[in-house]
Amino acid sequence: MGLLRLRHSHLDPFTKQPSMSEALSCKECGAQVIKAQELYNRYRKTNPEWFTYKEPEFIRSPELEKDYDKLSERKQTDPLYKEHIRKLTSGTEKEKDEEINKVNEQYYQTHYIDESGSIKEIKKE
């Protein structure tokens, strides 16, 4: 990185951003940029692992695990929620829009299906 600390700022005439092509055309900085490029290419060949992006490993937090378990349990046991998922995945556009509106209004947090199969509202006290 020290090789790329140039004596002048070489700005592109149109974008006014630093430009390597402008630096190459400079008599004083051109040799320095070429040295940096050669060093970079040598490192790319000898140590390619330095230049590969490693995807970070996603580790679920205990809270996320707990929420995931609750959601999967609800998906298996709650007929109202099953119907909601079915409509979102394979319903018509109108049904999908209605389901999205219900979710935005928190309908599924305040309603459930009782033993007889009718939809009831959870009363907040």
Q: What are phi and psi of 97, to 5 degrees?
A: -65, -40
Which pLDDT score is estimated for 33? 83
**Per-domain residue ranges of the chain:** 2-51, 62-121
Which pLDDT score is estimated for 21? 80
Which pLDDT score is estimated for 125? 59
Which pLDDT score is estimated for 8? 72
Q: Are 112 and 120 in contact (CB under 8 A)?
A: yes
Q: Are 47 and 29 in contact (CB under 8 A)?
A: no
pLDDT per residue of the chain (125 residues) written in tens, 0 to 9: 676 777 778 787 788 887 778 778 888 788 888 888 899 999 999 999 988 988 999 999 999 999 999 888 888 888 888 888 999 999 999 999 999 999 899 888 888 777 777 887 877 65
Contacts (Cβ under 8 Å, ≥6 apart) of 95: 87
Q: Which amino acid is at 53?
A: Y
Q: Are 78 and 86 in contact (CB under 8 A)?
A: no
Indicate if the alpha-carbon torsion angle 35, 40, 45, 46 is positive or negative.
positive
Which pLDDT score is estimated for 124? 66
Structure tokens at 57: 């490993």
